[in-house]
């Protein structure tokens, strides 16, 4: 065993079932382990390295800011976070942004905004937030409560009270939840990631949005994984022609540095007052400078290319030997295979392709700018592994 792996097992808390690879470096969609073996990366650090490893534009933006002002605290004004917030609002129509460090934190803020809005509007007994079965919203005790998968809850109860999950497609369950428990918010992932890479049905998302609008319940779209160009629109809700009241995002926005963002729409734009919320590293200048570079490159041409590449993968794998189905949207895809997903993933890794797992599926989250030749080669290897 390598020293890295030995030391990890000796000193790092055992929360991760890691693949037996110690990554040492990367460039674009290629990366190398400590022995120098080359891999084509179709996982991007779980949708984070949106333009691959060591992207020159992002690296330049980050290092430039790093040498000028690396941190200031939120006691002072700084430029990069204001630039990023303005870009996010202009691109989405949202009104205000709160910055944090992760997806879980972005969701915590979204939940606090929804609860405060609803408590002020409807009374302190309106605090319950509804999520969907099979959702994933993070690992803090509150975002775990919002996560509609029991498997993540066990051993950690009691979780934050005031959460329930309803099945996808079941509008009656959502109506009953509000009638009986007074909903303060509804949180959805338009394309569920950890739950099995599944795009929600269009009619259902539209019905949820209409229900929330009619009953004045803030609708939260968790765009932590499916956002930032991943599905071929800037944010996945844009495929559905709905307007959420709150958008949470993280992962790809930072291009490889930690950032979370909670976008507040018109309904909740002024819900927070000084002291209501905060985060020491929130709006960090280096992270925000990198995110500005990422966001500025997620233009129509790039998004069209994401859709084209996604269609290429779907066409190549649909009906292939050993492939049962391909789900998802754009470059966020799940492949249900006849063999166990873990076996397919291991065979890919042996052959030099890194892919991920979600439930029983092989999950693909390649860099949005992966070159066509590398994508074709990787898909060819995946196809062989599925046989």
Ligand X SMILES: *Cc1c(COP(=O)(O)O)cnc(C)c1O
Binding site for ligand X (CB under 6 A): 102-104, 107, 136-138, 189, 193-194, 222, 224-225, 250-251
Which of helix, strand or coil describes residue 108? helix
- For the chain, what's the residue count? 387
**How far apart (Å, rounded) are the C-alpha atoms in residues 48 and 336?**
23
Compute the least distance from the CB of residue 107 to ligand X, in Å. 6
Distance (Å) of CA 322 to CA 43, 319, 380: 21, 8, 13
Distance (Å) of CA 161 to CA 122, 131, 148, 156, 237: 19, 13, 14, 13, 28
**How far apart (Å, rounded) are the C-alpha atoms in residues 22 and 19?**
8
Compute the least distance from the CB of residue 362 to ligand X, in Å. 17
Which C-beta is closer to ligand X: that of 55 or that of 222? 222
Neighbours of 1 (CB within 10 A): 9
Which C-beta is closer to ligand X: that of 193 or that of 232? 193
Contact 42, 378 (CB under 8 A): yes
| Residue of minimal Cβ distance to ligand X | 103
First to last CA, the chain: 30
Which C-beta is closer to ligand X: that of 109 or that of 385? 109
Compute the least distance from the CB of residue 189 to ligand X, in Å. 5
Which C-beta is closer to ligand X: that of 177 or that of 236? 236
Contact 337, 173 (CB under 8 A): no
Which C-beta is closer to ligand X: that of 225 or that of 284? 225
**How far apart (Å, rounded) are the C-alpha atoms in residues 15 and 115?**
31
Compute the least distance from the CB of residue 193 to ligand X, in Å. 4
Contact 386, 326 (CB under 8 A): no
Which C-beta is closer to ligand X: that of 264 or that of 379? 264
Cis peptide before 158 (omega within 30 of 0): yes
Compute the least distance from the CB of residue 295 to ligand X, in Å. 18
Of 225, 198, 220, 194, give the one whose Cα is nearest residue 209: 220
Which C-beta is closer to ligand X: that of 94 or that of 250? 250
Which of helix, strand or coil describes residue 94? coil
Compute the least distance from the CB of residue 196 to ligand X, in Å. 12
Which C-beta is closer to ligand X: that of 168 or that of 250? 250
Compute the least distance from the CB of residue 222 to ligand X, in Å. 5
Compute the least distance from the CB of residue 100 to ligand X, in Å. 9
**How far apart (Å, rounded) are the C-alpha atoms in residues 247 and 91?**
12
């Amino acid at each position: 065993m390598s020293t890295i792996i030995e030391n990890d097992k000796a000193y790092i808390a055992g929360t991760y079932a890691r693949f037996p690879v110690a990554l040492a470096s990367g460039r674009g969609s290629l990366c190398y382990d400590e022995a120098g073996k080359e891999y084509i990366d179709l996982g991007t650090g779980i949708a984070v390295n949106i333009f691959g490893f060591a992207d020159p534009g992002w690296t330049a933006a980050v290092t430039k800011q790093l040498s000028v002002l690396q941190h200031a605290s939120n006691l002072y004004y700084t430029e990069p976070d204001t630039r990023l917030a303005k870009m996010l609002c202009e691109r989405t129509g949202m009104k205000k942004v709160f910055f944090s460090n992760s997806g879980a934190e972005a969701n915590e803020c979204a939940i606090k905004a929804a609860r405060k809005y609803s408590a002020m509007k409807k009374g302190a007994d309106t605090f319950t937030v509804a999520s969907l079965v099979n959702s994933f919203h993070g690992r803090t005790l509150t975002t775990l409560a919002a996560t509609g998968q029991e498997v993540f809850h066990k051993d950690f109860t009691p979780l934050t009270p005031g959460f329930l999950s309803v099945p996808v497609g079941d509008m009656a369950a959502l109506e009953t939840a509000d009638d009986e428990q007074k909903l303060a918010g509804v949180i959805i992932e338009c394309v569920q990631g950890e739950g099995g890479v599944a795009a929600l049905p269009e009619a259902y998302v539209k019905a949820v949005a209409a229900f929330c609008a009619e009953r004045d319940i803030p609708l939260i779209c968790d765009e932590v994984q499916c956002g930032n160009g991943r599905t071929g629109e800037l944010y996945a809700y844009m495929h559905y022609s709905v307007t959420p009241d709150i958008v949470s995002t993280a992962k790809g926005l930072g291009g490889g540095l930690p950032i979370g963002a909670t976008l507040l729409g018109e309904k909740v734009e002024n819900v927070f007052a000084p002291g209501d919320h905060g985060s020491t590293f929130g709006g960090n200048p280096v992270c925000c400078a990198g995110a500005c570079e990422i966001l500025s490159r997620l233009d129509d041409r790039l998004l069209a290319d994401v859709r084209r590449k996604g269609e290429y993968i779907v066409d190549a794998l649909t009906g292939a030997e050993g492939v049962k189905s391909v789900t998802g949207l754009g470059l966020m895809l799940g492949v249900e295979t006849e063999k166990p997903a873990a076996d397919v993933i291991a065979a890919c890794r042996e052959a030099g392709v890194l892919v991920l797992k979600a439930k029983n599926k092989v999950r693909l989250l390649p860099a949005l700018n992966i070159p066509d030749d590398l994508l074709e080669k990787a898909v060819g290897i995946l196809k062989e592994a599925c046989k």
